[in-house]
Every structure is written in C-alpha cells, then in structure tokens.
C-alpha cells in the first residue's frame, strides 16, 4: 500500500508528504512538529498502539487485563488497581522509534505513557528531546542517537549483559550530568559503554557513585572536550584509548582508582584536584600538560608517556604533592619537565627517561640526578649532573664575568661537564705536541731568532719567571731547564686536562 510506512514490519499509515509513519518519520523542533499535521498527537496515539501490540501480540500467555482496559489506563481514561499493577509490570522494547521533543503541559506528552510502565529497552531509537528524567523507570539505551545536547539523569537500569545505561549510542551534541546524581546512590552499573561523542562531556558539581565509562578493551573513545569540575568521583574512573582535544579536571576528588591509559590528548589541565588511590596514565600521549595544586596520595604512574610538544612549554607539576611513589620510567618529555615546585615524599623512578634539557630547569635536573644516585645508578646520575651544570652555566650567561663563570665555561669547553672524555684526551695530545715544539725550538735556538734585538731583555724577564717556577717545589724536578716557567704552565694545563679526563671516564663507568 502506498500509504503504509516504509519501515519493515510497520503497518502504520504514513505522515502526509513522507514515507514513514509518526513513529518512524524524521522529527524537528517542537514548534515545527506541533504544527506539522498534528504529528505530536499522532505520535502519542501510535505509541499507545505500539505498546499494546508489544504486550498483546508478543505475549506467550494471555494477559490478565483486556487490551481496551490497558489502553484506557494509559490514556488516563480508566482507574483500576488491577490494571495499574499489570501495567507497572510491563517492560517494552522500543525499536527504531524516533522520539520527538515534548512539553509536559500537553495531554499527548508521551512521558505520561512511559511513567506508567516498569521500564523500556530503547533499541536503535532517536531522541530529539534533551533529557530523560523518569525516576524509577528502568531504562536501557542501545545503539540510540541523541540528536541534540543531552543531560544524563539518574535512572534505574534495565538489566543487560554489560550492566550499562547507554550502550553503543551516539551523542551529536554536548553531554552533561544532572545535579540529581548527588541523590543517586546506586553503583551497580556503568553509564557509558562504547558510545560516540561528537562534542563535549561536562560533569559539574555532582557526586558520582557509578562507573562512568565501561568500554571494550579495543574501543577507541573520541571526545572533543572532557570537563570534570567541582565534583566527587567515588567509583573507579577508567577511560582508556581516548582521543580528545582538551581535558580539564578542576576541584575534583577521586576516591578510587584513576585509570587514564593509552590516551591521545592535545591539552590536559589538572587543577586543585586530589587522587586518593592509584593514578595510572600508562603510554598516554599529551601535547600540553599542566598539573597545579593537586595531591597524589597513592602510586602515580606516567610510564611510557609522551608528554609535551617540541618548542612548547614544559610538562609542569606546580605545587603538586606526591605522597607515594612516582614512576616516570621510559617517559618522553618532548618540551622538558618542571618539578621545581613539586613536593616529593619519595624519589621518582626516571629510568630511561628522555627529556629536552633546554626547557628543563636546573632544580628538576638535580632531582633526577639525586634519584639515580639514591639507587646507585651513578652513570645516569653523572649524565644529569652534567646537564645540571650546563643549565647552570646557561642561567649565568646574563651575569657579569666572574671566577665562577670562568670555571663553568672552561668545564663546558674542555669536557662538557664530564660528558665527553674525547675532548680532554684530544687536548692532551695537542698540548703535548705544542710542548714538544717549544722544547725543540728552545734547544735549537729558534726562540732567540724571533726578536734578536730584544734577546737580553727577554732573557732577564724569562730568568726571573724561571726562578719563580723553580721555587714551586711540587713541580721543580720535572721542569725543563731553561724554560722552567713555560714548563710549569704546561704542567698545570696537563694536570687540569688529566683531571677532566679522569672525571669524564668515571662519569661513563660504574662506581664501586
């Protein structure tokens, strides 16, 4: 029939100028649907018929009340305790129905029908309305589309395999949580399972007893922005394999485990929040990271994370307190690390950490060095000592020249603060060649041929300095006769280079 709904299995009449019936046709705004050939009232009537068909056509046993009594009770045309008790035991499966916007003042408000039932399984349904606040109504949303912004209200769950409220659903608009969650103490189910979010998720000013996310292991969760503020999360917070532009956690108390693994985030801000149990961000990649005035009471794991972006601000833990062990093993800090204002009760694990020292301050490098020294890993400790000294030298660049600045500059030029043993070894060889050239020139009188007219004056000056050098007892017996002062200068340079070579070699070998 031409006027029959195009949806398989539906025998309802179509709406004017459409191919589907009121239950299955596309919906628009409330005002548009209200004036569209009485779409809303026709939807109400067809929904009553749909519920009746579910109860009377699919039942294996004869219902205890008549179809007419059931219909009259739904439409508030009959009062009967027997009928009411029967109706309130009914769970309806709504399949591929597109629910319109509604107004509670309408006599054809479909919420009035739903509230009379025990619950419903919404399967492949579409919702134009922005929330479901049906209280004790048992609900399960599977493969549903929420076209506009959606507010999550605390609902009783209709039992299902995964014990979740929303499964494989798609949310086109922003998702927020009603503050009525503060009054909802049931924690026997999770809210979202493998759902898609096109925009933001916002939790603000609520207390959550439920697990918010219960995704499949391999499911890739995508969200534009996740904001949790002024809330208390009492249950485990587990959200892995997340792709998101920005995550903001501000003024939040996490009473249970916080698991945030293998996520890819452009910007993460954690502000004035406390984590009472394990905090785990294993193998997450975050371009911009900022922790501020937060407390980690238990283990905090950042193992194998890639944090920061090249040439940007360092990963910062400002006024952050770690009351237990922190693991940064195998982490990569592309834009450096800032722990200068962090409070550490225990030394973190920095094994195999890679970081940009240019954006890492000296205090952070000192903390890393000390952590390796404490566990006896002196090779890595010496590496970060060199980086610490190099950073100190860079910090002194704008200061006027001083003895300390000169010493640091020489250390950098000679051995890169102990990181290079090739440089001092090479300089020793060069210095030896120069010294031998000086001795050869002296013995063959080449030095006296440079300025022959001033030989007498040069000899008197050289004689004075040679006598001074001879009086320097530790080196006097090693000085070359006739050029004692020059020999002394070379021996001092030898001693300096040999010391730098020894320090460099020790920096690359384990101490006993």
Mean pLDDT of all residues in 439-454: 67
What pLDDT, on a 0 to 100 scale, did the predictor assign at position 408?
66
User: Both tokens of residue 114?
Assistant: 């739903």
Q: Report DSSP state, residue 236.
A: -
CA dihedral (36, 42, 44, 49) in degrees, to 10, reads -150
Largest CA distance in the chain: 135
| pLDDT band for position 289 (cuts 50, 70, 90) | very high
Contacting residues for 465 by C-beta, under 8 A, at least 6 apart:
484, 485
- The CA-CA-CA angle for residues 258, 290, 342, to 5°, reads 85
What pLDDT, on a 0 to 100 scale, did the predictor assign at position 456?
64
> 509 pLDDT exceeds 70?
no
- The CA-CA-CA angle for residues 238, 244, 249, to 5°, reads 60
Dist. CA 468–CA 462, nearest whole Å: 10
| pLDDT band for position 451 (cuts 50, 70, 90) | low
Average pLDDT along the chain: 86
Mean pLDDT of all residues in 352-357: 89
Contacting residues for 225 by C-beta, under 8 A, at least 6 apart:
199, 200, 201, 244, 245, 246, 247, 248
> 484 pLDDT exceeds 80?
no
- Lowest mean pLDDT: which of 175-179, 316-320, 387-391? 387-391
Over residues 117-145, the pLDDT tens digits come to 999 999 999 999 888 888 789 999 999 99
User: Both tokens of residue 170?
Assistant: 């798609």
Surface-to-core class of residue 46, CB atoms within 10 Å of its CB (0-12 exposed, 13-18 middle, 19+ buried)? buried
Q: What percent of the chain has pLDDT over 70?
A: 84
Cβ(348)–Cβ(371) under 8 Å? yes
- Lowest mean pLDDT: which of 103-107, 160-164, 491-495? 491-495
Over residues 418-437, the pLDDT tens digits come to 666 677 788 778 888 887 88
Over residues 199-243, the pLDDT tens digits come to 999 999 998 888 899 999 999 999 999 999 999 999 899 999 999
> 512 pLDDT exceeds 50?
no
- Lowest mean pLDDT: which of 15-24, 147-156, 220-229, 441-450? 441-450
Contacting residues for 241 by C-beta, under 8 A, at least 6 apart:
215, 218, 219, 220, 221, 261, 262, 263
């Amino acid at each position: 029939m031409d006027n029959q709904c195009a949806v398989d299995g539906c025998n309802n009449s179509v709406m004017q100028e459409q191919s589907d019936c009121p239950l299955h046709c596309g919906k628009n705004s409330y005002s548009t649907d209200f004036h569209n050939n009485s779409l809303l009232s026709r939807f109400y009537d067809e929904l009553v018929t749909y519920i009746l068909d579910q109860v009377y056509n699919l039942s294996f046993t004869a219902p205890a009340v008549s179809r007419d009594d059931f219909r009259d009770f739904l439409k508030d045309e009959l009062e009967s305790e027997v009928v009411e008790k029967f109706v309130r035991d009914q769970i309806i499966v709504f399949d591929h129905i597109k629910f319109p916007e509604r107004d509670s003042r309408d006599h054809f408000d479909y919420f009035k029908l739903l509230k009379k039932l025990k619950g419903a399984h919404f399967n492949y349904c579409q919702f134009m309305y922005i929330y479901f606040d049906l209280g004790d109504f048992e609900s399960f949303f599977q493969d549903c589309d929420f076209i506009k912004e959606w507010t999550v209200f605390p609902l009783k769950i209709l039992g299902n395999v995964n014990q979740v409220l929303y499964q494989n659903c798609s949310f086109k608009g922003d998702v927020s949580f009603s503050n009525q969650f503060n009054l909802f103490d049931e924690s026997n189910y999770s809210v979202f399972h493998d759902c898609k979010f096109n925009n933001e998720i916002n939790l603000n000013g609520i207390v959550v007893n439920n697990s918010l996310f219960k995704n499949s292991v391999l499911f890739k969760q995508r969200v534009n922005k996740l904001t949790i503020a002024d809330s208390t999360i009492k249950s485990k917070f587990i959200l892995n394999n997340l792709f998101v532009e920005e995550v903001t956690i501000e003024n939040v108390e996490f009473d249970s485990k916080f698991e945030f693994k293998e996520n890819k985030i452009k910007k993460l801000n954690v502000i004035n929040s406390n984590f009472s149990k394990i905090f785990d961000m294993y193998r997450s990649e975050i371009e911009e990271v900022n922790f501020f005035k937060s407390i980690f009471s238990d283990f905090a794991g950042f193992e194998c994370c890639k944090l920061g972006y090249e040439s940007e601000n360092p990963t910062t833990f400002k006024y952050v307190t770690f009351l237990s062990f922190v693991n940064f093993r195998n982490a990569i800090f592309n834009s450096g690390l800032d722990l200068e204002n962090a409070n550490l009760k225990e030394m973190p694990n920095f094994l195999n950490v890679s970081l940009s020292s240019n954006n890492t301050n000296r205090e952070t490098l000192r903390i890393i060095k000390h952590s390796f020294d404490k566990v006896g890993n002196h090779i890595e400790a010496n590496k970060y000592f060199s980086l610490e000294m190099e950073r100190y030298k860079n910090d002194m660049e704008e200061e006027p020249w001083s003895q300390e600045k000169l010493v640091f500059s020489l250390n950098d030029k000679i051995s890169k603060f102990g990181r290079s043993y090739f440089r001092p070894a090479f300089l020793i060889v060069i210095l030896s060649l120069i010294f031998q050239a000086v001795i050869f020139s002296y013995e063959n009188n080449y030095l006296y041929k440079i300025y022959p007219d001033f030989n007498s004056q040069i000899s008197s000056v050289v004689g004075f300095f040679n006598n001074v050098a001879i009086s320097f007892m530790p080196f006097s017996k090693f000085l070359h006769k006739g050029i004692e002062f020059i020999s002394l200068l070379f021996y001092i340079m030898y001693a300096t280079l040999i010391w730098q070579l020894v320090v460099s070699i020790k920096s690359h070998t384990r101490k006993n």
